[in-house]
Amino acid sequence: MPVDTIDDLADVFEYETIAVVGCSSTPGKAAHDVPNYLRKQGYDVIPVNPFADEIFGRPVPDSLADVESEIDIVCLFRPSEEMSEIVDAALERDDIQVVWAQRGIRDDEAAARVEDDGRVVVQDRCMMVEHRRLAA
């Protein structure tokens, strides 16, 4: 079952490094503003986007496989139909502990694969909204 309790969500925010698949370089888009908020809260945000060279002053890898540093959480800003492929890439890495699908993104079969591998999954929730709610 995907994470949905306050305590379980709070545990997710104990991690430090978040790779944001589909991160946008355009302010005003959720895929830019949410990761930027997380950066300002002290998280190490790694933007992942094959169509951008630099976001937040950082070089942008094309895919999770191209991220050279350790990742704790993968945050998805891609359509639901792409979640399965991104989950497969996340499960190929031993370092990723959490797959977080942003609001409106859901794939129950892919989520079950994450859980079956002993990792945590959150679906259809905004990281910024949940972080603010827990910090209040």
Output the tens digit of pLDDT for each of the chain's 136 residues. 678 788 889 999 999 999 999 999 999 999 999 999 999 999 999 999 999 999 999 999 999 999 999 999 999 999 999 999 999 999 999 999 999 999 999 999 999 999 999 999 999 999 999 999 998 7
pLDDT value of position 27: 97
Q: How far apart are CA 121 and CA 101, in angstroms?
A: 8
Predicted TM-score (pTM) of this structure: 0.95
pLDDT value of position 7: 86
pLDDT value of position 44: 98
Residues 6+ apart with CB under 8 A from 62: 48, 49, 50
For the chain, how many structural domains are there in total?
Answer: 1
pLDDT value of position 104: 97
Q: How far apart are CA 122 and CA 42, in angstroms?
A: 21
Task: Give domain status of residue 1, yes or no.
Answer: no
Task: Give domain status of residue 95, yes or no.
Answer: yes
Range of the domain at 75: 6-135
Q: How far apart are CA 88 and CA 5, in angstroms?
A: 25
Tell me the β-bridge partners of 58: 55
Q: How far apart are CA 124 and CA 44, in angstroms?
A: 22
Task: Give domain status of residue 88, yes or no.
Answer: yes
